[in-house]
Amino acid sequence: MLTALHWGRGDVQVAGERLRGADLVAAVNAVAHTVAGHERVAVVAHRQLQTVVAVAGVLAAGGCAVPVNPAAGEAERGHVLADSGASLLLDGSAIDLAARGAGVASGDVDAESPGLLVYTSGTTGPPKGVLLSRRAMAACLDGLSDVWQWSQEDVLAHALPLFHVHGLVLGTLGPLRFGSRLVLTDGFGPVEGATMYFGVPTMWSRTDVESLRAMRGARLLVSGSAALPAPVFERVRELTGQRLVERYGLTESLIVTAASVDSDRGAGSVGRPLPGVGLRIADPDDEGMGEVQLSGPTLFSGYLNRPDATTAALTDDGWLRSGDLGRYDDEHGLRLLGRLATDLVKTGGFKVGAGEVEDALLGHPAVAEAAVTGEPDDDLGERIVAWVVRADAVTAGELIDHVAAQLAPHKRPRDVRFVEALPRNAMGKIQKSLLSATNDV
């Protein structure tokens, strides 16, 4: 991975700050010298130039960067730092952008060694650390450059968070690998000279008319991380004259399918497999719908410290169970139709496990019982809803703030519904399917 990053041509701009060419290389090298010898380095991933330099520095030194959500609450941050075993924590304030260093010897870094450890939610328990090798990230990026003709001539603009695959692998390591200019903005919107935009559906749907019109000049508008509603696709098409390109993947698989830049695409398809990716539909029903399973060079190397979860995520023949339901045909490519697990909520493109939010709620002394569900939401795709049986007086706002402080603001419930009891079956298991029918009290 790192040997093929074109540092010499890199050009990264965040807010008013910009580093390019030899200055970027030297700043990255200075970090590499600081972190040399550390196997895993946690990086508090503010949307700042320092984060780009820090992550690149860890990679250049042959280490593994562990991005940490800067807004992570106490419990979540503590879990990530302890579980990852990071021996060093870098924050923006620790990175001196004016520092300059000479290259570190990194020629013999194994392509199979992890370059990133990214935490992602499961249905239960705290987030799991996904080990991503240099080989997997390079395969994913090179596949995308193939189908999108992504080159040094491109200028990528986005406002994605830097602690997940979308903003960090695609949105940061991509431009560094291809030597294209990167402009990170505070809010999603037009950037002078940008040729590519990456966003989640919520960002595309929130963008106002004038801003969309100002994006007309770009050659590639990309949506991913969550289902793109057809009306959003149509609105963007109307105002920009362009059809959004969709791509699909998981933290565990990186990006596995994408519509190509020259395809005749419509809403609802997330494209075809990238070079080398295996995609199959397991146990398809009469209409060809089944679980999407994946193989190939972009797959993760396993969950850190969780061999049980790694085994459960893979089939006996080593394919990744995506948990997504889909249908594939050569004409339309992959169409996603739902999800097997109901205890995962995709909200604003973030995956949130019902279990971790329930655990946080149950940690509040006024909560006797809690269940978390996802409900359709025009803005966020899905919104997190908490169903709570009170043990003591507490308001919805207090519980929302409690979850935001323990986990992260994007994991907070948008609605809290107080109920007298949760519906349970004879075994005592909560029947979430009955919850939307339950009335607030």
Q: How far is the CB of 76 from ligand AMP (least distance, A)?
A: 15
Residues 133 to 172 in contact with ligand AMP, rule: CB under 6 A: 165
Closest to ligand MCA by CB, 1 vs 60, is 1
In sequence order, the 6+-apart residues with CB closer than 8 A to the CB of 187 are 159
Q: Binder to ligand MCA among 114, 127, 143, 224 (CB under 6 A)? A: 224
Residue 322 interacts with, from ligand AMP, ligand MCA, none (CB under 5-8 Å by kind): ligand AMP
Q: What is the CA 335 to chain-centroid distance, rounded?
A: 20
Using DSSP bridges, classify how beta strands 245-250 and 254-258 pair: parallel, antiparallel or unpaired: antiparallel
Q: How far is the CB of 372 from ligand AMP (least distance, A)?
A: 17
Q: What is the DSSP letter of 430?
A: B
Residue type, 336: L
Three-class secondary structure assignment of 96-109: CCCCCCCCCCCCCC
Residue 133 CB, shortest distance to ligand AMP, in Å, is 17
Among positions 410, 418, 423, 430, the unique one binding ligand MCA when judged by CB under 6 A: 410
For residue 322, give both structure tokens: 């995506």
Check residue 227 for interaction with ligand AMP (CB under 6 A). Answer: yes
226 makes contact with ligand AMP (CB under 6 A): yes
Within residues 72-131, the interface with ligand MCA by CB under 6 A covers none
Q: What is the b/e burial string over 307-321, where b = at least 16 CB atoms within 10 angstroms of the residue's CB?
A: eeebeebbeeeebbb
- 182 - beta bridge partners? 12, 156
> Does residue 412 belong to the site contacting ligand MCA (CB under 6 A)?
yes
Query: What is the rounded distance in angstroms from the CA atom of residue 286 to the CA atom of residue 244?
Result: 30
**Binding flag, residue 396, ligand MCA (CB under 6 A):** no
Under the criterion CB under 6 A, does residue 382 sit at the interface with ligand AMP?
A: no
Binding residues for ligand MCA, total number by CB under 6 A: 24
Say if CB 132 and CB 114 are below 8 A apart: yes
Interacting span for ligand MCA (CB under 6 A) from 108-116, 133-141, 325-333, 408-416: 408-416
Angle at 31 between CA 30 and CA 33, to 5 degrees: 70
Angstrom distance (rounded) from CA 328 to CA 348: 25
C-beta of 98: minimal distance to ligand MCA in Å? 27
Subset of residues 229 to 268 that bind ligand MCA, contact rule: CB under 6 A: 249-251
Binding site for ligand MCA (CB under 6 A): 71, 160-161, 164-167, 200, 202-203, 224-225, 249-251, 348-350, 400-401, 404, 409-410, 412
